[in-house]
Amino acid sequence: MHGSPTAVEQHGAASLRFAENVPFTAAHAVNAMEWARVDRPVAHASGIAWQAVKAGDPLTVLSLEPELYSGTGITPLNPTWPGLKAVPPRVRALSGDSGSMIRTTC
């Protein structure tokens, strides 16, 4: 833990302003099945991220445990990293570490 807890740690990303649940679709599942060795919540978030990228949506994946995404082609940002003051504006963020799929417009 680095000093004071972040807003994500204090309240959870889903409670942040502009947060919405992202439904997990068949297209997301097709991507998620490619990562059999990845925990389901991470595979789901990665599948959602890949579909957003394919659609041309700007996207940033946030994760408190970015190493969980190894092998998915997704490189998440850890919002607790020192020096990361804010998520870049006008991006969407996903977190699948705790099993919740969310998209946050910043």
Overall pTM > 0.75: no
pLDDT at residue number 60 = 76
Beta strand pairing call for 59-61 and 92-94: parallel
Instruction: Give the largest CA-CA distance in the chain.
Output: 41
Strand partners, 92: 59, 105
Per-residue pLDDT of the chain (106 residues; tens, 9 = 90+): 344 445 444 445 544 444 556 677 787 777 777 787 888 778 878 888 888 888 887 777 888 888 888 888 888 888 787 766 655 544 444 545 443 344 444 3
pLDDT at residue number 84 = 63
Q: Are the CB atoms for 74 and 61 separated by under 8 Å?
A: yes
pLDDT at residue number 77 = 81
The CA-CA-CA angle for residues 87, 90, 91, to 5°, reads 60
